[in-house]
Amino acid sequence: MTLPEAPLPDAEKARALAQNRNAFTVDCLIDTTDLPAPVRIPRPDSVHVMVADVDDLGEWLRELGGEIHVSPEFEAVQLWTLHASTESVRTGSSVSVLVSVPVPVGELVMDWIDRAVKR
């Protein structure tokens, strides 16, 4: 039985289908661009990607653009998260992509990546 045939309540089915669509869209992007994505967590409203280092975050920034938000420091580390979205697909919609990486406080970061940080 495929997901569209599954006996789920309508809201749950719509949620599952949206999550699968988002995963598929981002998987296609990753496959065609070879972006680093060791951890990918699809959600109905977005896809979260965790990367290994700030240079990997830079690859996503170069591909999608967007802006980076930085969390408050905790145990000498900040979480840097790129807020971006895929290009519009056939339906005219896009997928929100949140790419995150822990960055030690004071770590040297390429200037062009640092300029994308929303201050």
Backbone angles phi, psi at 3, to 5 degrees: -55, -45
Residue holding tokens 């790419």? Answer: 99
Non-local CB neighbours of 51 within 8 Å, separated by 6+ positions:
36, 37, 38, 39, 57, 60, 99, 100, 101
The more confident residue out of 12 and 33 is 33
Inter-residue long-range contacts of 31-38, CB under 8 Å, 24+ positions, other chains counted:
33/63, 35/59, 35/60, 35/63, 36/60
Q: Whole-model pTM?
A: 0.87
- What digits encode the pLDDT tens for the residues 49-86? 999 999 999 999 999 999 999 999 999 999 999 999 99
Instruction: Kindly state the percentage of the chain with pLDDT values over 90.
Output: 80
| The one-letter amino acid at 50 | M
Give residue 82's pLDDT: 98
